[in-house]
Amino acid sequence: MAYQKYKGYLEASQTHKQLVADGVWDGPKFTSVDLMELFVSKSYFHSHYKKHFSKVTNYPLLLEWLENSPNNRPTDKSVWGEVKSVYTFKDLELYFEKNKGKGKGKKKAWEDQEDHSNKEEGSSKKTGLDKKKKKQVK
């Protein structure tokens, strides 16, 4: 839902700018903060939405997961390496960290986690990924 709000802000901002530029908008001119605060507070927008969502275009698999409906997107497991009912900004930070330098996010975050865990433990023991089937939520 947060990503949809981010996209809503971007679309509203672009539409407003275009309407003003075309001379079609006869209402008050809104600032970017005015529009931003229709969706979320200014400080939260900058500390979370802009900070994280501005990066997703560099990760095609994640972008596809965010953009598509649950029935028409990659599985949670293929993107996140686990299935959770809710994904947080912390999950997004971990995703970016695990995929850092992977060239447009081609390698999945969970693959690094498994590789790293197996090397440290010296075994083929699973990394503790949640195998429970949970409702997929965007």
CA–chain centroid gap for 67, Å, is: 9
Give the residue from 45, 36, 47 showing the smallest Cα distance to 93. 47
pLDDT digit string, tens, across residues 66-80: 999 888 999 999 999
Sort residue 122 into left (φ over 0), alpha (ψ -120 to 50) or beta: left
Residues near 107 by Cβ (< 8 Å), separated by ≥ 6?
99
Distance CA 52, CA 93 (A): 7
> HSE on the CB side for 18, CA within 13 Å?
6
**DSSP assignment letter at 107:** S
Give the residue from 78, 87, 3, 82 showing the smallest Cα distance to 48. 3
Structural domain boundaries of the chain? 1-54, 56-138
pLDDT digit string, tens, across residues 110-122: 444 434 333 333 4
| 123 confidence band (pLDDT: 50, 70, 90) | very low
Distance CA 76, CA 135 (A): 10
Q: What is the per-residue pLDDT for 14?
A: 95
